[in-house]
Amino acid sequence: MTEKKLEGKTALITGGSRGIGKAISKLFSQEGAKVAVNYNSSELDAKKLKDEIPDLEIFKADMSSREQVISMFSDVRKKFGQIDILVNNAGIMDVMPFEQYDDARVRRMFDINVYGPIYASLEALELLKKSREPVIINLASNAGVGTSASGTTYYAMTKAAVVMLTKRMAFDFRDAKIRVNAIAPGWIKTDMTLSGKSEREIRDAEEFFKSRTSLSMTGEAIHIARTALFLASRDSEYMNGQILVVDGGRLD
């Protein structure tokens, strides 16, 4: 029998009730981790996930609210005492052409995508310091390292901030030996990229993004979950402050 890669570890995944976060939660659980999932929007998604992974713990909080994050971590602390892995996955993409700037919507994106990981990492520090192999994984985006798609300038800016946050946290947490790395996915089929689209629009988007990758394929949440497993496990023990681009070889 092959050894499970996260046996004995506890992982907290933000925004873990669907999409990439859900795939990470399932894979980490299969690999032996105790998994705590943060969710905000849908009680139903959280319940469905609990049906799929019964020994999962779920914690509700809007990750853009400092107060709610502090209160959630107080519950996580009571339940687990320590965590080994924090995955800052919760995020939104609000597509908006540059000239159609909307102050509240852009600020909301920054609040969730940038302040969320800051708040979570601040509160997780004490719990991670109790681990022998502490790890933080941030979900950036290939948009944050320079690839372009129409209407995503403000989103790309939030993810560029996540890239720098990753590099700086790896430096700032060096004494605590917390490894901090990020994944920069390309176009992955989740609610973020598919919801609200007709079947035809989805087919067109798939064709478009296929034609933009050297592998001629679009991404699935499991591709990102496997990368997260690599970064969470000892397999990546000599990596720190890095951004792994997982986008099928984007051509522009």
The residue annotated as part of the active site, out of 39, 119, 154, 155, is 155
Residue nearer to ligand NAD on the CB measure, 77 or 108: 108
Handedness of CA 27, 30, 35, 41 (dihedral sign): positive
The per-residue DSSP string of 76-127 comes to HHHHHS--SEEEE---------GGG--HHHHHHHHIIIIIHHHHHHHHHHHH
**Residues 22, 87: contact at Cβ < 8 Å?**
no
Q: Which residues pair with 135 in a beta bridge?
A: 85, 179
Q: Please state the closest distance from residue 176 (CB atom) to ligand NAD, in A.
A: 24
Residue nearer to ligand NAD on the CB measure, 136 or 139: 139
Residue nearer to ligand NAD on the CB measure, 131 or 242: 242
Q: How far is the CA of 241 from the CAs of 106, 146, 168, 179, in angstroms?
A: 27, 18, 7, 7
154 is catalytic: no
Q: How far is the CA of 193 from the CAs of 65, 94, 196, in angstroms?
A: 25, 10, 9
Q: Please state the closest distance from residue 8 (CB atom) to ligand NAD, in A.
A: 26
Q: Strands 243-246 and 85-88: what pairing?
A: unpaired
Q: Please state the closest distance from residue 116 (CB atom) to ligand NAD, in A.
A: 6
**Residues 84, 93: contact at Cβ < 8 Å?**
no
Residue nearer to ligand NAD on the CB measure, 110 or 129: 110
Q: Please state the closest distance from residue 188 (CB atom) to ligand NAD, in A.
A: 4
Where do contacts with ligand NAD occur on this chain (CB under 6 A)? 14-15, 17-21, 38-41, 62-64, 89-93, 112, 139, 141, 185, 187-188, 190-193
Catalytic residues: 155
